[in-house]
Amino acid sequence: MVVKKRRKSVRMRGSATHGWGKNKHRNSGSRGGFGNAGTGKKSHNKKPSIWAEDYFGKQGFISKSQRKAAVVINLRDVQDRLPKWVAMKNASVVQGVFVVDLGKLGFTKLLSAGRMAMKLKLIVDEAAEGVVEKVKAAGGEVVLNESV
């Protein structure tokens, strides 16, 4: 008479572990965790494979209240670019005073680096304190826009 071998699931009835030992063969703990668990804990693990992904660093929303960075220009640069701006009609000469609207040229802030040798009327959103003094000393003026 030939006796068939019973299946393991039948043979192990009542043993609770079915031959897998005390705590093995349960959930994800026996395989090291879910997903990227353990990634980068050792130097030979799969750390380099996730550097290309957005795994590390900040993700999420960007606050709408963050202020945009100012686009700055120095007084020295204004004086250097003035002939070009006059030629392109981005600046004008009124009674010997150069009138430049820096806002229309894309600049939001005027800094005081450089010396002033000519009369200027500069229209800008923001200006450093030193700029106003230097331009006034040369006989010009700085007009600040109130829209900021």
Banded model confidence at residue 133, pLDDT cuts 50, 70, 90: confident
Is the domain covering 72-144 a CATH 3.100.10.10 domain? Answer: yes
Distances from the Cα of 84 to the Cα of 7, 47, 79, 103, 124, angstroms: 92, 54, 10, 17, 19
* Residues 85-107: b if buried by 16+ CB within 10 A, e if exposed: beeeeebeeeeeebbbbbeebeb
Residues 54-109: tens digit of each pLDDT: 767 777 887 777 767 788 888 888 888 888 988 888 888 888 888 888 888 888 88
Give residue limits of the domains in the chain.
16-60, 72-144
pLDDT of residue 7: 94
pTM: 0.51
CA 137 remoteness from chain centre: 39
Q: How many CA atoms lie within 13 A of 51 on its CB side?
A: 6
